[in-house]
Chains A and B, each alone.
Chain A
Amino acid sequence: MATTTATITIASSDIADNAISVSNTATLYTAGTDTGITETTGLGRKKFASNSNIVLLDGGLTSGIAADVTADKSAKVYLKNMNDRGDGTKYVNILLAAVEIGRLYGGDWMFIPWCAASGKDIEFTASDTTETTLEYTCFYE
Protein backbone atom coordinates (compact mmCIF):
# COMPACT_ATOMS: atom_id res chain seq x y z
CA MET A 1 0.00 0.00 0.00
CA ALA A 2 0.99 3.62 -0.40
CA THR A 3 0.97 6.42 2.13
CA THR A 4 -0.46 9.63 0.77
CA THR A 5 -1.26 12.57 3.00
CA ALA A 6 -3.22 15.76 2.55
CA THR A 7 -2.45 18.55 4.99
CA ILE A 8 -4.38 21.77 5.34
CA THR A 9 -3.42 24.85 7.31
CA ILE A 10 -5.85 27.72 7.67
CA ALA A 11 -4.28 30.72 9.31
CA SER A 12 -5.13 34.31 10.08
CA SER A 13 -3.64 36.77 12.49
CA ASP A 14 -6.40 39.36 12.23
CA ILE A 15 -9.79 37.84 11.32
CA ALA A 16 -10.53 37.58 15.03
CA ASP A 17 -9.28 39.08 18.27
CA ASN A 18 -6.80 36.23 18.58
CA ALA A 19 -4.89 34.59 15.80
CA ILE A 20 -6.29 31.36 14.40
CA SER A 21 -4.33 28.49 13.00
CA VAL A 22 -6.10 25.26 12.14
CA SER A 23 -4.09 22.41 10.74
CA ASN A 24 -5.03 18.82 9.97
CA THR A 25 -3.45 15.98 8.07
CA ALA A 26 -5.55 13.28 6.46
CA THR A 27 -4.02 10.03 5.31
CA LEU A 28 -5.85 8.87 2.21
CA TYR A 29 -7.22 5.41 2.95
CA THR A 30 -9.54 3.15 1.03
CA ALA A 31 -13.12 3.21 2.31
CA GLY A 32 -13.50 1.96 5.86
CA THR A 33 -9.92 0.70 6.21
CA ASP A 34 -6.47 1.90 7.19
CA THR A 35 -5.05 0.71 3.87
CA GLY A 36 -3.62 3.51 1.76
CA ILE A 37 -5.12 4.48 -1.57
CA THR A 38 -2.96 3.21 -4.41
CA GLU A 39 -4.41 4.81 -7.52
CA THR A 40 -4.44 8.30 -8.95
CA THR A 41 -5.32 9.95 -12.22
CA GLY A 42 -2.03 11.79 -11.93
CA LEU A 43 -1.78 15.55 -12.04
CA GLY A 44 -3.65 16.99 -15.00
CA ARG A 45 -3.69 20.45 -16.51
CA LYS A 46 -6.45 21.74 -18.74
CA LYS A 47 -6.67 25.02 -20.65
CA PHE A 48 -9.90 26.34 -22.05
CA ALA A 49 -11.33 29.60 -23.36
CA SER A 50 -15.04 29.02 -23.16
CA ASN A 51 -17.90 29.82 -20.82
CA SER A 52 -19.74 26.64 -21.74
CA ASN A 53 -20.25 23.87 -19.22
CA ILE A 54 -17.39 21.36 -19.41
CA VAL A 55 -17.06 17.94 -17.77
CA LEU A 56 -13.75 17.55 -15.96
CA LEU A 57 -14.21 14.17 -14.27
CA ASP A 58 -16.98 11.98 -15.65
CA GLY A 59 -18.46 9.76 -12.96
CA GLY A 60 -19.64 6.25 -13.83
CA LEU A 61 -18.12 5.97 -17.28
CA THR A 62 -16.46 2.81 -18.58
CA SER A 63 -13.65 4.70 -20.30
CA GLY A 64 -11.76 7.93 -19.86
CA ILE A 65 -9.61 9.29 -17.09
CA ALA A 66 -12.13 8.69 -14.30
CA ALA A 67 -13.38 5.31 -15.50
CA ASP A 68 -11.62 3.32 -12.79
CA VAL A 69 -12.93 5.37 -9.88
CA THR A 70 -15.21 3.11 -7.90
CA ALA A 71 -18.36 4.92 -6.83
CA ASP A 72 -19.29 5.52 -3.21
CA LYS A 73 -15.81 4.89 -1.87
CA SER A 74 -13.24 7.37 -0.64
CA ALA A 75 -12.05 9.17 -3.76
CA LYS A 76 -10.60 12.65 -3.26
CA VAL A 77 -10.27 15.43 -5.83
CA TYR A 78 -7.89 18.39 -5.82
CA LEU A 79 -8.59 21.25 -8.19
CA LYS A 80 -6.90 24.60 -8.62
CA ASN A 81 -7.60 27.61 -10.82
CA MET A 82 -4.11 28.53 -12.01
CA ASN A 83 -5.04 31.96 -13.37
CA ASP A 84 -4.00 35.18 -11.69
CA ARG A 85 -6.69 36.71 -9.57
CA GLY A 86 -6.87 39.80 -11.76
CA ASP A 87 -9.61 42.19 -10.68
CA GLY A 88 -11.38 39.47 -8.74
CA THR A 89 -14.40 39.25 -11.02
CA LYS A 90 -13.32 36.21 -13.05
CA TYR A 91 -13.87 32.74 -11.68
CA VAL A 92 -14.76 29.19 -12.54
CA ASN A 93 -18.02 27.76 -11.23
CA ILE A 94 -17.50 24.22 -10.01
CA LEU A 95 -20.52 21.93 -10.31
CA LEU A 96 -21.42 18.44 -9.21
CA ALA A 97 -23.77 17.14 -11.89
CA ALA A 98 -25.91 20.26 -12.45
CA VAL A 99 -25.55 21.61 -8.92
CA GLU A 100 -23.16 24.48 -8.38
CA ILE A 101 -20.79 23.98 -5.47
CA GLY A 102 -18.95 27.26 -5.58
CA ARG A 103 -16.55 29.58 -7.32
CA LEU A 104 -12.82 29.15 -7.73
CA TYR A 105 -11.28 32.55 -8.38
CA GLY A 106 -7.78 32.84 -9.82
CA GLY A 107 -5.35 31.18 -7.42
CA ASP A 108 -8.06 29.33 -5.46
CA TRP A 109 -7.94 25.59 -4.82
CA MET A 110 -10.32 22.99 -3.41
CA PHE A 111 -9.99 19.48 -2.02
CA ILE A 112 -13.15 17.41 -1.70
CA PRO A 113 -14.28 13.83 -1.45
CA TRP A 114 -16.03 12.60 -4.60
CA CYS A 115 -18.78 10.00 -4.69
CA ALA A 116 -18.05 9.36 -8.42
CA ALA A 117 -21.38 7.63 -9.05
CA SER A 118 -22.96 7.58 -12.47
CA GLY A 119 -23.94 11.09 -13.48
CA LYS A 120 -22.09 12.70 -10.57
CA ASP A 121 -19.65 14.44 -12.85
CA ILE A 122 -17.38 17.20 -11.68
CA GLU A 123 -17.96 20.01 -14.11
CA PHE A 124 -16.97 23.61 -14.49
CA THR A 125 -18.22 26.76 -16.17
CA ALA A 126 -16.03 29.84 -16.51
CA SER A 127 -17.49 33.27 -15.89
CA ASP A 128 -16.30 34.44 -19.32
CA THR A 129 -14.19 33.30 -22.27
CA THR A 130 -10.84 34.41 -20.86
CA GLU A 131 -8.35 31.57 -21.19
CA THR A 132 -8.33 29.67 -17.92
CA THR A 133 -5.99 26.93 -16.73
CA LEU A 134 -7.04 24.30 -14.20
CA GLU A 135 -4.84 21.75 -12.49
CA TYR A 136 -6.44 18.70 -10.95
CA THR A 137 -5.83 15.27 -9.61
CA CYS A 138 -7.97 12.46 -8.23
CA PHE A 139 -6.94 9.81 -5.70
CA TYR A 140 -9.19 6.77 -5.72
CA GLU A 141 -9.68 3.06 -5.28
Chain B
Amino acid sequence: MATTTATITLSSADLLSDNMSLSATMNLYKDGTTATGLEQLNYHRAIIPTGTNFDLIQDSAALSEDASYVYICLKNTDVTDYVKISINSEEIGRLYAGDWLFMPWDNDLTDTEAATDPSGNDSSIEIQAYTHDATIEYMLFHSGETLLTAADS
Protein backbone atom coordinates (compact mmCIF):
# COMPACT_ATOMS: atom_id res chain seq x y z
CA MET B 1 0.00 0.00 0.00
CA ALA B 2 0.98 3.62 -0.37
CA THR B 3 0.69 6.50 2.01
CA THR B 4 -0.72 9.61 0.40
CA THR B 5 -1.95 12.65 2.26
CA ALA B 6 -3.93 15.69 1.19
CA THR B 7 -3.73 18.80 3.34
CA ILE B 8 -5.78 21.96 3.03
CA THR B 9 -5.14 25.26 4.75
CA LEU B 10 -7.71 28.05 4.56
CA SER B 11 -6.51 31.34 5.93
CA SER B 12 -7.32 35.01 5.98
CA ALA B 13 -6.18 37.87 8.15
CA ASP B 14 -8.93 40.27 7.13
CA LEU B 15 -12.04 38.41 5.94
CA LEU B 16 -13.41 38.34 9.48
CA SER B 17 -12.77 40.52 12.49
CA ASP B 18 -10.14 38.06 13.67
CA ASN B 19 -7.67 35.83 11.91
CA MET B 20 -9.06 32.75 10.25
CA SER B 21 -6.89 29.69 9.91
CA LEU B 22 -8.27 26.24 9.26
CA SER B 23 -6.22 23.20 8.38
CA ALA B 24 -7.11 19.57 7.73
CA THR B 25 -5.13 16.55 6.60
CA MET B 26 -6.55 13.31 5.29
CA ASN B 27 -5.11 10.02 4.18
CA LEU B 28 -6.27 8.60 0.88
CA TYR B 29 -7.47 5.15 1.86
CA LYS B 30 -9.28 2.39 0.00
CA ASP B 31 -12.97 1.78 0.60
CA GLY B 32 -13.75 -0.61 3.43
CA THR B 33 -10.31 -0.50 5.00
CA THR B 34 -9.04 1.01 8.21
CA ALA B 35 -5.72 2.24 6.86
CA THR B 36 -4.89 0.77 3.45
CA GLY B 37 -3.78 3.49 1.09
CA LEU B 38 -4.83 3.89 -2.53
CA GLU B 39 -2.07 2.64 -4.81
CA GLN B 40 -2.99 3.95 -8.25
CA LEU B 41 -2.62 7.42 -9.65
CA ASN B 42 -3.26 9.29 -12.90
CA TYR B 43 -1.52 12.65 -13.17
CA HIS B 44 -2.11 14.76 -16.28
CA ARG B 45 -1.52 18.17 -17.73
CA ALA B 46 -3.73 19.24 -20.61
CA ILE B 47 -4.79 22.24 -22.66
CA ILE B 48 -8.57 22.41 -23.03
CA PRO B 49 -9.84 24.35 -26.07
CA THR B 50 -12.76 26.69 -25.57
CA GLY B 51 -16.20 26.00 -27.00
CA THR B 52 -16.83 22.35 -26.17
CA ASN B 53 -17.74 20.45 -23.05
CA PHE B 54 -15.29 17.54 -22.78
CA ASP B 55 -15.08 14.42 -20.67
CA LEU B 56 -12.00 15.07 -18.58
CA ILE B 57 -11.97 11.98 -16.39
CA GLN B 58 -13.75 9.05 -17.95
CA ASP B 59 -15.97 7.00 -15.71
CA SER B 60 -15.20 3.35 -15.31
CA ALA B 61 -17.19 0.47 -13.93
CA ALA B 62 -14.27 -0.52 -11.74
CA LEU B 63 -14.41 2.86 -10.03
CA SER B 64 -18.05 2.45 -9.04
CA GLU B 65 -19.04 2.42 -5.36
CA ASP B 66 -15.51 3.03 -4.27
CA ALA B 67 -13.11 5.61 -2.86
CA SER B 68 -11.53 7.82 -5.52
CA TYR B 69 -10.29 11.38 -5.23
CA VAL B 70 -9.89 14.06 -7.87
CA TYR B 71 -7.69 17.15 -7.91
CA ILE B 72 -8.00 19.76 -10.69
CA CYS B 73 -6.08 23.03 -10.93
CA LEU B 74 -6.54 25.74 -13.57
CA LYS B 75 -3.08 27.06 -14.37
CA ASN B 76 -4.14 30.07 -16.46
CA THR B 77 -3.17 33.50 -15.13
CA ASP B 78 -5.73 35.79 -16.84
CA VAL B 79 -8.35 36.39 -14.14
CA THR B 80 -11.17 36.33 -16.68
CA ASP B 81 -10.39 32.76 -17.71
CA TYR B 82 -12.42 29.98 -16.16
CA VAL B 83 -13.58 26.43 -16.62
CA LYS B 84 -16.91 24.89 -15.71
CA ILE B 85 -16.66 21.53 -13.98
CA SER B 86 -19.70 19.28 -14.33
CA ILE B 87 -20.88 15.77 -13.63
CA ASN B 88 -23.87 14.18 -15.34
CA SER B 89 -25.04 17.52 -16.78
CA GLU B 90 -24.95 19.16 -13.36
CA GLU B 91 -22.49 22.03 -13.10
CA ILE B 92 -20.50 21.76 -9.90
CA GLY B 93 -18.94 25.18 -10.29
CA ARG B 94 -16.33 27.37 -11.92
CA LEU B 95 -12.60 27.33 -11.43
CA TYR B 96 -11.06 30.70 -12.22
CA ALA B 97 -7.38 31.25 -12.96
CA GLY B 98 -5.30 29.74 -10.16
CA ASP B 99 -8.23 27.96 -8.52
CA TRP B 100 -8.16 24.28 -7.63
CA LEU B 101 -10.59 21.68 -6.37
CA PHE B 102 -10.18 18.46 -4.45
CA MET B 103 -13.13 16.14 -4.06
CA PRO B 104 -14.17 12.53 -3.73
CA TRP B 105 -15.60 10.89 -6.83
CA ASP B 106 -17.86 7.90 -7.14
CA ASN B 107 -19.08 6.37 -10.37
CA ASP B 108 -22.55 5.85 -9.05
CA LEU B 109 -24.68 6.47 -12.11
CA THR B 110 -26.04 4.14 -14.71
CA ASP B 111 -23.68 4.36 -17.61
CA THR B 112 -25.38 4.75 -20.95
CA GLU B 113 -22.35 5.52 -23.02
CA ALA B 114 -20.28 3.21 -25.15
CA ALA B 115 -16.62 2.89 -24.29
CA THR B 116 -15.63 4.51 -27.56
CA ASP B 117 -18.39 7.11 -27.57
CA PRO B 118 -18.55 9.39 -24.55
CA SER B 119 -21.78 11.05 -25.67
CA GLY B 120 -24.03 9.20 -23.26
CA ASN B 121 -25.26 10.18 -19.84
CA ASP B 122 -22.65 9.21 -17.29
CA SER B 123 -20.71 10.20 -14.22
CA SER B 124 -17.57 11.26 -16.04
CA ILE B 125 -16.10 14.53 -14.83
CA GLU B 126 -16.58 17.11 -17.55
CA ILE B 127 -14.84 20.38 -18.29
CA GLN B 128 -15.50 23.36 -20.55
CA ALA B 129 -13.12 26.29 -20.96
CA TYR B 130 -14.30 29.88 -21.32
CA THR B 131 -12.57 33.07 -22.50
CA HIS B 132 -9.31 31.32 -23.46
CA ASP B 133 -7.99 27.80 -23.79
CA ALA B 134 -7.43 26.36 -20.33
CA THR B 135 -4.22 24.78 -19.12
CA ILE B 136 -5.05 22.39 -16.35
CA GLU B 137 -3.36 19.84 -14.19
CA TYR B 138 -5.42 17.05 -12.71
CA MET B 139 -4.95 13.93 -10.67
CA LEU B 140 -7.08 10.89 -9.97
CA PHE B 141 -6.27 8.62 -7.04
CA HIS B 142 -8.13 5.35 -7.37
CA SER B 143 -8.17 1.63 -6.70
CA GLY B 144 -8.36 0.44 -10.30
CA GLU B 145 -9.91 1.33 -13.64
CA THR B 146 -11.55 -0.92 -16.20
CA LEU B 147 -8.99 -1.34 -18.93
CA LEU B 148 -10.17 -1.67 -22.53
CA THR B 149 -9.04 -4.64 -24.55
CA ALA B 150 -6.95 -3.47 -27.46
CA ALA B 151 -8.96 -3.51 -30.69
CA ASP B 152 -6.07 -4.97 -32.67
CA SER B 153 -5.09 -7.65 -30.19
Contact = CB atoms under 8 A, between A and B. Distances in A.
B103 A2 contact: no
A13 B3 contact: yes
B47 interface: no
B98 A114 contact: no
A27 to B, nearest CB: 7
Interface stretch (A47-55, A60-68, A88-96): A88-96
Interface residues of A, number: 68
B15 A4 contact: yes
Contact of B11 (A5, A33, A100, A102): A5
Interface in B62-78: 67-71, 73
A33 B35 CA distance: 42
B2 A15 contact: yes
Interface in A50-104: 72-76, 78, 80, 85-89, 93-94, 96-97, 99-104
A135 to B, nearest CB: 9
A8 B94 contact: no
Interface string B49-73: 0000000000000000001111101
Contact of A100 (B98, B100, B106, B139): B106
Contacts of A137: 10, 22
Contacts of A108: 26, 104
Interface in B121-141: 123, 137, 139, 141
A115 B91 contact: yes
A40 interface: yes
Interface of A: 2-16, 20, 22, 24, 26-27, 29, 31-34, 36-38, 40, 42-43, 72-76, 78, 80, 85-89, 93-94, 96-97, 99-105, 107-117, 120, 137, 139
Interface of B: 2-16, 20, 22, 24, 26-27, 29-35, 37-39, 41, 43, 67-71, 73, 79-80, 82, 84-85, 87-96, 98-106, 108-109, 123, 137, 139, 141
